[in-house]
Amino acid sequence: MIRTIGYFALVAFLYWLIIRWWLRRARRKNTIGIFHLYCSSGGGGERVLWHLVKILLEKYPKYTIYIYTQKELHQDSLQILLKARNLFKIDLLADDRALERLEFVPLSLSPWIEAKKYPFLTLLFQNLISVIVAFQAAYNIVPEVYFETIGFTFTLPVFKLAGSRIATYIHYPTISSDMIHNVETTTHASYNNRQVFVRFPLLRQLKLVYYKLLVFLYGYAGRSADTVMVNSSWTQKHIESLWSCKAVVVYPPCDVDSFKALPLERFEERLSSKVGQSNLNIISIAQFRPEKNHQMQIEAFDMFMNRVKHSNDSQLTLYGGCRGAEDQKLVEYLRDLINRLDLSSRVSLVVNASFEELLDGLHEADVAIHTMVNEHFGIVMLEFMAAGLITIAHNSGGPKADIIDDQKNGFLCDDINDFAEKLALISKMSFQERQTIRKNAIEKSEKFSNARFESSITKELDAIMIS
């Protein structure tokens, strides 16, 4: 038995040496690989991606950039770059020479990384499959420098094995102490903790063991990185604890200037034409995903409307992007909820809006709402604040740690009742009280910008690109 185990261990070691030798032999000089399967989406992660690509193209002209993408891109490369220009005002099409140094590498195995394929042990299966997808990525291109920007940390050891220098930008930890605490203490189901785990203590204990195994594997994979960047002090705290490493906070890019261009005086001009100061025009901007908790926004708005009868002309508009069929199902569910609550004349959903449409929505709004628990940072909240909106967000994650100073430049809420109460409070505030919060919000947003992101991330890039 011992001899058999020794034999298999020796064979595995020899295979490891062969794979390592082959990968390192295949590594290409002056190349950068970026693992971002959903590069054609329009969320905050893609904003960081395209700003990063722009900086790399400008500052390191000898390097070619390869973006590992999903099997079938929803648009061709030109459409993707046009979308980046329209959504994020990042124009990569202006320089033909830069475009010659940017290529997309579709990965045929990428569909197997989708969460919907694994109804149980989702995180474990996703991350294990990501290792296989990473080997396929390395088979196509082994870059000199490898960037992981989408959260698949288990890909890092593969490229470390290949001899690439490794950098990662973490938007949120795959597993965190907050998730473990939620399983240990929660008394109700949530999007990542089903009712069955709440009802049966044995299953809850098994899930805790599963999470702790993930924590161990996640930390091991993360320690493969040479440079670790995170988007907020909340994320930094978790990553440093999980990975036992030094993580540098690089706040994500925020185009505050575009939103500050919306004049604060518009609220004063609107006073005479509005039907009562208590009526609110509320906006939400978030991708249509379960964790964004759009349902709470709609239900909190319904509670607010029932409590403040003289606010019956208030409006709620939810803007968001859809990545695929699952997100579209959520949109249909939300539309059904709106009809069941008889709010169809007061609540609107706008899917895949352009940047100009978002600006128009921000121009018309008074208040912004964001209900995700443990939002890792919250670029959109800075955009709300730069536009002079009174912003209310969940009392957790990045909004609590880095962005909103409660009752000074916005409001933090603990639950659905709190969100409804804060909406009611804002509806009763005087115009001057609102303007004070708006001015404070604009001042806070000025601490974050595209220029700050560029200067911060360039310092970290120089360390890994020149080493």
Give per-residue pLDDT as tens, 173-230. 988 777 776 666 655 555 455 555 555 567 777 878 888 899 999 999 999 999 999 9
pLDDT for residue 275: 46
Rounded mean pLDDT, 403-429: 96
CA 37 to chain centre: 14
Q: What is the pLDDT of residue 174?
A: 87
Q: Among 213, 255, 254, 253, which residue's Cα sits nearest to residue 229? A: 253
What pLDDT sits at residue 192?
Answer: 53
Are residues 168 and 225 in contact, defined by beta-carbon separation less than 8 angstroms?
A: yes
pLDDT at 411: 98
Query: Nearest 5 degrees, angle CA 291-CA 297-CA 300?
Result: 135
Identify the weakest region by mean pLDDT among 72-76, 345-349, 350-354, 357-361: 72-76
**Local confidence band at 256 (pLDDT 50, 70, 90 cut-offs):** confident
- Give the model's confidence band at 40: pLDDT under 50 very low, under 70 low, under 90 confident, else very high: confident
How confident is the model over 289-299, as a mean pLDDT? 95
Full set of structural domains in the chain with CATH:
1-253+451-466 (3.40.50.2000), 256-448 (3.40.50.2000)
User: Is residue 303 a contact partner of residue 417, using CB atoms and an 8 Å limit?
Assistant: yes
Residue 304: pLDDT over 60: yes
Lowest mean pLDDT among 78-82, 267-271, 405-409, 413-417: 267-271
Beta bridge partners of 315: 281
Instruction: Enter the DSSP assignment of 143.
Output: -
Type and span of the H or E element at 162:
none
Q: What is the mean pLDDT of residues 119-131?
A: 91
In this predicted structure, the answer to whether residue 25 has a pLDDT above a threshold of 60 is no
> What's the number of CA atoms in the CB half-sphere (13 Å) around residue 102?
23
- What average pLDDT is seen over the chain? 87
For the ranges 2-11, 115-124, 251-260, 281-290, the one whose mean pLDDT is highest: 281-290
Rounded to whole angstroms, the Cα distance separating 461 from 467 reads 10
Say which residues have a Cβ less than 8 Å from residue 411's Cβ, sequence separation at least 6. 390, 391, 392, 393, 404, 422, 425, 426
Pairwise pLDDT comparison (81 vs 367), residue with the higher score: 367
Mean pLDDT computed over 16-45: 77
Residue 272 has pLDDT above 70, yes or no: no
Q: Give the CA-trace dihedral at 81, 83, 87, 93, to 10 degrees.
A: 30
Q: Residue-wise over 413-424: b if at least 16 C-beta within 10 A, else e?
A: beebebbbbbbb
Q: Tens digits of per-residue pLDDT, 427-443?
A: 999 999 999 999 999 99
Q: Rounded to two decimals, what is the model's pTM?
A: 0.79
